[in-house]
Structure 1
Amino acid sequence: MDADAIAGDLTTVLYTPDQIRERVGELARDIDRDYADKDVLLVGVLNGAVMVMADLCRAMQSHCEMDWMAVSSYGSGTKSSGVVRFLKDLSADIHDRHVLVVEDIIDTGLTLNWLLSNLTSRGPASLEVAAMFRKPDAMQTDIDCKYVGFDIPGEFVVGYGLDFDGKYRNYDGLAILDPRVYN
């Protein structure tokens, strides 16, 4: 889906598909370099990370494995509920593995903080985070994110895996959603 199809629902396009593609390639090169002598397990956080996970692993030149988790603290609104729900666990054992959690966005950081605590308890050899988007002004907890695609404003955004009530996830850029859509 391109911006023209939903232009009336967006206020500002923050990043175009080309800008996102270029940044994903840069992140992939950094990850390839940092994990050159290690087997890395990419752990995508469903559903939002599907786009970045697919593009990131295709841009990487090194071998990687993938697994998926699903946790949620969003309901149908635009704010985190603060309550984490565990929806799907990993298939792989991560004990003594090099794990890179791949996120679409870090907003408050509360859900990711819970997830990292859970994964740390499983004894990985290393545990790092890659997030395509991060809202520094919305952070409520410190998250050590080794790889960040873009820092973005604290407004409600959609596209590149990010949705509102299941819509806009397949928009291939990133844009601010017009508040009239969700108010």
Structure 2
Amino acid sequence: MTPSLGTILVVDDEPQIHRFLNPALTASNYDYLRAERGDDALRLAASRAPDAVLLDLGLPDMDGHEVLRRLREFSDVPVIILSARDREAEKIAALDGGADDYVEKPFALGELLARLRTALRHHLRKDNAETPVIIGDLVIDAVLHKITLNNTQLALTKREHALLMLLARNQGRV
């Protein structure tokens, strides 16, 4: 069995989008998380730490721009907007609001997958360019995904590592 290339959170209230993307992403070796509401998306993003988010702007409980704004308060996960909104102002607002890309519905699956791979690749490069965070005797190396305390390596899950890195990068603000 081929290992997963990452977990993708798909946030859309249209069942047909999930029926289309779930098998397509799964066949491309991604794990699939589904949310139909903004509050569910934020909860899943915080608890499951997906590797990327595909986000619709038209959700039943809140606008996708608000979901993006709240998501950016605690995560730098790559976000690709999937929306039928085709006005330039919508695209600019989403990209300036922190989205990594914007794909109009209807979309071609091959192009979406290529954009997803690109967003994940850019995010990985950014993570790899980071220098270790040092707080006293605690050293967090994002490049090696290694954490040491008093020269002893700690074994943390991916989610625990991401949370500790987030807290360390925002020390004095959290």
On whether the aligned pair clears a TM of 0.5, the verdict is no
Structure 2-normalised TM-score?
Answer: 0.22
Q: Which has the larger radius of gyration?
A: 2
Which protein is richer in helix relative to its size? 2
Structure 1-normalised TM-score?
Answer: 0.21
